[in-house]
Structure 1
Amino acid sequence: MVREDWVVMSRKELPRVHVIRQVVAKQLTQKEADALLGLTDRQIRRLQRRVEQEGARGLVHRGRGKPSNHRIPEPRKAKALQRYGDFGPTLAAEKLAERHGLTLSAETLRRWLWARGISHFTRRKRPHRA
C-alpha cells in the first residue's frame, strides 16, 4: 500500500529528481543537467518547471496507472471468451475476425485463456520412433 505522501518512480526517473533539484537550486546549469541526463535543454526547462510547480511528483510519467489505449474492453473480452472459450486460440481468432469483425492475435487469446485456467493448448509429443 502506497502512502499519499510517497511518490512511486521508475529507476529512470529517480536520478532526474536529484539533478533537476540541483538545477532549481542553481548548483547546476541547464546545459550541465542535459549532459548528465541525456535530455535536451528544452526538456530540462520543462522538467524544472514541473518540479517547481509539483515537486518530485511532477517528474513521474503521466501515463502511469492508466490503461493502455489499445486495451480491449473487458465486456468484449468476456464475450469473446464465452463464445469461443472451448476453441483453440488460432481457430477462435479466425472466427472472431470472420463473424464479429474483432481482429485479435491468437497469442492474445492464448494468454486470456491461460489466465482463465484453460490450458489444454499444449503441443502433443510425437510418438517415439524405434
Structure 2
Amino acid sequence: MAATERITMTMRELDRFKVIQDVADGRLKPWRAAERLRLTTRQVRRLVGRLREHGPEGLVSRRRSKPSNNQLDAVTADRALSII
C-alpha cells in the first residue's frame, strides 16, 4: 500500500493542473489550453511534460518559500532603517 503525499496548491495552480491534465489526457487541444491559461502553446507542452514526469507537484511553483531576488542584505537594510 503506497502512502499518499499532500501537495499544497493555490487555486490558480489547481486550475492550471486541471487544464494541463485535460491536455495530457487528450480531452483538450494545447492551443485551446494556451488560450485559457494565457500562455504560449510551447509553455503548455512544457507543462504537460513536467506533469508526466513529476506528477501534480511538477506544476507547483518552485519559488515557494524562497526569499525574493530583490531583497536587501541585512547590513544595507539596517543602515537604511537607522537613517530613517
The TM-score, its normalising length taken from structure 2, stands at 0.78
CA deviation after TM superposition for structure 1 residue 24, in Å: 0.6
| Deviation by residue 1:29-50 (Cα, 9 ceiling, x = unmatched) | 1011112212110110111011
* Aligned residue identity for 2:32: E
CA deviation after TM superposition for structure 1 residue 71, in Å: 2.8
Structure 1: which 4+ aligned runs deviate by more than 4 Å?
A: none
CA deviation after TM superposition for structure 1 residue 11, in Å: 2.1
Q: Mark the structure with the bigger radius of gyration.
A: 1
Query: What are structure 1's unaligned runs of at least 5 residues?
Result: 82-88, 94-105, 107-130
What is the Cα-based RMSD across aligned positions, in Å? 2.5
* Aligned residue identity for 1:10: T
Higher RCO (CA 8 Å, separation ≥ 6 residues):
2
| Deviation by residue 1:69-120 (Cα, 9 ceiling, x = unmatched) | 233445x37xx38xxxxxxx5xx22xxxxxxxxxxxx4xxxxxxxxxxxxxx
Q: Which has the higher helix share?
A: 2
- Match for residue 70 of structure 2? 70
Partner of 1:13, secondary structure, is: helix
User: Is 1:5 aligned to residue 21 of structure 2?
Assistant: no
Query: What are structure 2's unaligned runs of at least 5 residues?
Result: none
- Match for residue 38 of structure 1? 38
Question: Aligned residues, how many?
Answer: 81
Q: Distance between the aligned counterparts of 2:69 and 2:19, measured in 1?
A: 32
- Match for residue 60 of structure 1? 60
Identity of aligned residues (%): 35
- Match for residue 16 of structure 2? 16
- Match for residue 110 of structure 1? none
CA deviation after TM superposition for structure 1 residue 61, in Å: 1.1
Q: Distance between the aligned counterparts of 1:6 and 1:31, measured in 2?
A: 30
